[in-house]
Amino acid sequence: MGDGLSSNIDSHTCLEEERQALLSFKQDLADPSGRLSSWVGHACCQWQGTSLNPPLVSCNNRTGHAEKMDLRNPYPDAYPDDWHSTEYRRSFLKGKINPSLIRLKHLSYLDLSWNDFQDYPIPKFIGQLKSLRYLNLSYSQFAGEIPSSLGNLSYLNYLDLYLYECYSKDMNWLSHLPSLKYLNLSYVNLNSTGVRWLHDVLMLPSLLELHLSSCQINGRLHQLPPLAINFTSLLVLDLSDNFHISSFPVWLLNLIGLKSLEYLNLSDMDLEGQIPRVIGHLCKLKMLDLRFNKFDGDLEEFLSVFSNCQKNGEMGSQLQHLDLSANSLSGSFPESFRHLSSLKTLDLSSNSLSGSFPESFRHLSSLKTLDLSYNRMNGSVIPQGLGQLSQLVDLDLSGNSWEGILTEAHFINLTKLKTFRISRDNKSASLSINVTYDWLPPFNLSTLYIKNCRVGPEFPVWLRSQTQLVDVLLDNAEISGRIPEEWLLTISSQVQYLQLPDNHIGGRFPFHFKFPRITVMDLSHNHFEGTLHISPINVPVLTELHLSDNHLKGTIPPSICQVPTMIILSLRNNQFSGEFPQEWSLWRDIVVVDVSNNTLSGKIPSSMGIPTTLRVLKMSNNHFEGEIPSSLQNCSALVDIDLSGNELAGIIPTWMGSMLSELQVLQLRFNFLSGNIPQQLCHLQSLHILDLSHNNISETIPKCLGNLTALRSKVSMRTFFGSYDELTTVIMKGRELEYTFDHALDLVMSIDFSSNNLEGGIPDEISSLVGLGSLNLSMNQLTGKVPRMLGHLSMLETLDLSHNHLSGEIPQSLSSLTSLSHFNVSYNNLYGRIPSGFQLQTLDNSSYIGNPSLCAFPLSTMCQGDEDGGQTPAGDVEDEHDNGKLGFFISMVLGFVIGFWGVCGTLLIKTSWRYAYFQFFDNIKDEMIVAITVKIARLRRRL
């Protein structure tokens, strides 16, 4: 009879009150994917979901009561690598939780995870579901304070509140959950609870797993003494990304001393010193994660903490996952690693480990993931025993100083390998993969990353056999010739990252293939030629296109603006011509546009300011004309503007200083800009490179330049833009210097106003820019004295004040500029002795020519009184020197007048003589004018 009742209830019906409660619950939810479409009819115990998540509601076979409701979004489980996609978001349940849920009085299991409840608070009435044993609200977009009513769920075994926007001020409700075995409060803000949360958690007698990652628990717990711990069987402890203190708190040492622990995560806590020896007593440990700390010592010391377990043979049989990445561990690899025979994951990346590849690794037969990247490892031979790790799936050897040759033997048994990364930390070709021509590897990779390692010269046959590649990078692999079209066609359907920069690959650009999933294509620094044909049909989700330093020509096709996902476009150093596409505004999310060093012409599109996301705009060394478009002021996030080397006219817009507050680099040199230097530029607190040289800018240098914060503080916070190889050219020390993000661009502090028509004096306020490395004010009409305060610019390497009308003496204070390596004050009206001590840094007298009243070493002109050791007043020395010079120039003029008719006939007949003669006269004219002007000025001062 019991079986008949069970069958009747299970097959045909459910309790009406509970069915109505479920329908009311459904009514308040948005369900775009139709996951609740089966919630019709009376058999609510048979309501199913999609094929990805069959039972949504489960009932007790005997009583018919609904006991389990599983509304977890199925998409992350079905497609774990693509959970940010549109399909995942479409599978959200949205809205609020209807209170009708409390009518399900026998509900013991409730899972609402991975949905979107749109920042609604967690309903307090969930605390009335007193039969709950399992509650999972993780990743469900709840917000606000965790309700204390959850403390009424006294039967609860499992509680997962992994939520980003929630917080708790009082965790006392936890003490009412004596049956709790699993607790996850990761990302819940517990900062306001002080130390009370710790007492509440430690009192849970049944706890087996505790996850408190990123809960903003701070260092106030550091001084707590050892605390009583009510649980003794804890298996999992995750306190990562908390505290951020240098040493272990005493209570934490007490907590991790629980010998039952199998999983310990103390990553990202800024812990320093050696790894605590108490960890060596955790002989049951299977997973240890200590990454992103500051632990030092060598590996031998680390392994010694497990000496007790090793003696008992337990260490080798237990530990499966070890992550010590991003610490400061040093030394070479000890042979004792051979005892960790159960290891499946070993990550030692981003440390300071040295020496050669360890032979002992061949004993780690269970290893699936090995990451030794970004250390200081070297050695001429990577042992062939690497090829015996038959279980290896992921291998990362990048960012070291490897040398030697990899052969077939290094890969012979790696049949399961899916990810292979290897690179040297510099471009020298002392590492190579040298296999027989027709070798076919035993693996088929999904990720291949090779950098600064010789693979070429031809496109290798073994690489053509890799037909499942999703992510491929071959950077500086010395590959020549063309990309095999059959290989490219094979991988085109699934490849997402295709990066082959800095090789010698040529031929036509391969965009006639369809790449439906590609997001990043980098073929820069190669020999591709022909025109650029790109269609959103072929690359519908492309976000980054890097084609710089090739031989592409023709126009930039307007269709490139129809690729809606474009974020980075780099076409630098090609032969593109014509106008830039006016369809610019079709890009919604563009961040970087670099078309510098081409032959583009016309006006910069006025539509440029419509995609306000733009952060880097480089259009230098083209033939753009017209004014700087005012629409750019809408791009308030701009960091870098380089429009130099064009034919732009008009004024420097004032909005550059008032609207572009994040600007770090502004380069407008070699144009036809006029007007003044806007005062508004002084508001750019992050500006560290300002180049307005070679224009027609006039008036005075703004005194407010002393307010440029980045140049005052010697600090520049450069912004990183994905895989964009930002290149900035700065003219310093008399030559063009190139800087990249990886190579000191953030350290360049430069102001260049040279070759303009600036007048007035050099503002003393510039002396407050103590971070300035280069100051070029040459080729202007500046007057007045060289500011003595410039001696405060202790970081200055370049100071060029040449070709102005500066007067007075060179300040002795400049001799304190010990970093100065390029100095030029030539062709001014300076006089007096070159300061002693300063001359040792500037031995080249070309730095001073054109100042006839300067004397002392390194000039050949001696100051009066130097011969007899006496001191002559500076004014007398200057007068005598000037008198001699003035007499010389007057005599020359008289000679010219007397002899003119004697030679004029010859000059009229002989063209080359005529040109040379008048060229000579033109050259001395300036010096005559300077000498006469200086003499008159000094006579006036004396009178």
Q: What is the pLDDT of residues 853-878, one digit of tens each?
A: 998 888 888 888 776 544 433 444 34
The alpha carbon of residue 133 and the mean position of all alpha carbons in its chain are separated, in whole angstroms, by: 45
Sign of the Cα pseudo-torsion (241, 244, 247, 251, in order): negative
Q: 3-class DSSP state for residue 555?
A: coil
**Which residues have a Cβ under 8 Å from the Cβ of 920 and sit 6 or more positions away?**
none
Whether the CB-CB separation of 446 and 422 falls below 8 Å is answered with: no
Higher pLDDT, 458 or 624: 624
| Two structure tokens written together for 9 | 């209830």
Q: In this predicted model, what pLDDT tens digit does every residue of 371-410 receive, in sequence order?
A: 999 999 887 678 888 999 999 999 999 999 888 899 999 9
SS3 782: strand
Which DSSP helix (H) or strand (E) runs through 265? strand 263-265
Contacts of 79 (CB under 8 A, 6+ apart): 85, 87, 88
By the 10 Å C-beta count (0-12 exposed, 13-18 middle, 19+ buried), 922 is classed as: exposed
Q: Does a cis peptide bond (omega within 30 degrees of 0) precede residue 510?
A: no
Percent of the chain with pLDDT strictly greater than 90: 57
Q: Any residues with CB less than 8 A from the CB of 187 and at least 6 apart, and which?
A: 162, 163, 164, 166, 213, 214, 215
Indicate the burial class of 870 (C-beta count within 10 angstroms; 0-12, 13-18, 19 or more): exposed
Looking up tokens 């990043």, which residue turns up? 520
Contact 776, 731 (CB under 8 A): yes
Does residue 282 contact residue 264 with C-beta atoms inside 8 Å?
A: yes
| Cα–Cα distance measured from residue 703 to residue 550, given in angstroms and rounded to the nearest whole number | 44
3-state secondary structure 575-614: EEEEECCHHHHHCCCCCEEECCCCEEEEECCHHHHCCCCC
Is residue 785 within 8 A of residue 808, CB to CB? The reply is: yes
Tokens of 235: 């298996």
Other C-beta atoms lying within 10 Å of the C-beta of residue 913: 13
Spatial contact of 206 and 236, defined as CB atoms under 8 Å apart: no
Q: Which residues contact 670 (CB under 8 A, 6 or more apart)?
A: 644, 645, 646, 693, 694, 695
The angle at the Cα of 737, spanning 621 to 657, to the nearest 5 degrees, equals: 65
pLDDT band at 910 (very low <50, low <70, confident <90, very high): very low
d(Cα 49, Cα 36) in Å, to the nearest integer? 6
Assign 579 to helix, strand or coil: strand
In angstroms, the CA 421 to CA 434 distance is 16
For residue 731, the SS3 value is: strand
Under 8 Å between Cβ of 180 and 157: yes
533-554 confidence digits (pLDDT tens) = 888 999 999 999 999 999 999 9
Largest CA distance in the chain: 142
The pLDDT value recorded for residue 44 is 84
Higher pLDDT, 181 or 892: 181
List the one residue out of 119, 110, 33, 111 whose CA is nearest residue 72.
111
H helix and E strand count, the chain: 15, 58
Q: Where are the alpha helices (DSSP H) in 753-797?
A: none
Sign of the torsion angle spanned by Cα atoms 821, 827, 829, 833: positive
Chain segment 588-641, per-residue pLDDT in tens: 899 999 999 999 999 998 887 778 899 999 999 999 999 999 999 999 999 999
**Cα–Cα distance, 469 to 451 (Å, whole number):** 17
Burial of residue 362 (CB within 10 Å: 0-12, 13-18, 19+) is middle
551: nearest Cα among 491, 519, 506, 596: 506
pLDDT averaged over every residue in the chain: 84
Q: Which DSSP string do the residues of 419-434 spell out, in sequence order?
A: EEEEEESSS---EEE-
Closest by CA to 601, choosing from 586, 579, 619, 621, is: 579
Alpha helices in 292-440 (DSSP H): 299-304, 307-311, 315-318
Instruction: Give the CA dihedral 224, 226, 230, 232, nearest 10 degrees.
Output: 130
What is the bridge-based pairing of β-strands 404-406 and 431-433? parallel
Q: Over 50: is that where the pLDDT of 650 sits?
A: yes
Q: CB-based contacts of 328: which residues, under 8 Å, 6+ apart? A: 294, 295, 296, 351, 352
| Alpha helix ranges (H) inside 160-246 | 196-202
Instruction: Give this prediction's pTM.
Output: 0.81
Report how far apart the first and last C-alpha atoms of the chain are (Å, whole number): 131
pLDDT the model gives residue 345: 96
Q: Is cis: bond before 581, omega within 30 of 0?
A: no
Place of tokens 């990183």: 720
CA–CA separation, 390 and 364 (whole Å): 10
- Average pLDDT score over residue span 183-190: 96
Range of 12-21, 778-787, 837-846 with top mean pLDDT: 778-787
Taking the C-alpha atoms of residue 471 and residue 79, their distance in angstroms, rounded to an integer, is: 18
Q: Which amino acid is at 76?
A: P
How far is it, in rounded angstroms, from Cα 615 to Cα 636? 8
Name 784's bridge partners. 806
- Residue 922: CA count within 13 A, CB half-sphere: 6
What pLDDT sits at residue 741? 67
For the record, the structure tokens of 821 come out as 């390596």
For residue 644, pLDDT beyond 50? yes
- Which amino acid type is present at position 53? N
- The neighbouring-strand residues paired with 433 are 406
Residue 59 to residue 917: CA distance in whole angstroms:
110
Burial-class residue 789 by CB neighbours within 10 Å (0-12, 13-18, 19+): middle
Q: Residue 755 has what DSSP assignment?
A: S
Instruction: Find all residues with CB under 8 Å of 799, minimum gap 6, and list them.
Output: 774, 775, 790, 793, 814, 817, 820, 822, 823, 824
* pLDDT higher at 246 or 575: 575
Model confidence band, residue 264 (pLDDT cutoffs 50, 70, 90): very high
- pLDDT tens digit sequence for 337-381: 777 888 999 999 999 998 888 888 888 889 999 999 999 988 767
The answer on pLDDT for 820 being more than 60 is: yes
Strand partners, 594: 570, 618
Coil, strand or helix at 560: helix
Question: Bridge-partner residues for 432, per DSSP?
Answer: 405, 454
Orientation of helix 874-909 relative to helix 911-942, angle to 10°: 160
Q: Are 114 and 89 within 8 A, CB to CB?
A: no
Phi, psi of 471 (to 5 degrees): -130, 115
List Cα–Cα distances, 430 to 375, 421, 433, 782, 794, in angstroms: 17, 17, 10, 54, 41
- The least confident of 225-229, 388-392, 702-706 is 225-229
Q: By the 8 A CB rule, do 19 and 42 touch?
A: yes
Q: What is the pLDDT of residue 312?
A: 56
Question: Average of pLDDT values for 158-168?
Answer: 96
Minimum mean pLDDT range among 28-42, 432-446, 594-608, 748-762: 28-42
Per-residue confidence (pLDDT) for residue 895, from 0 to 100 = 47
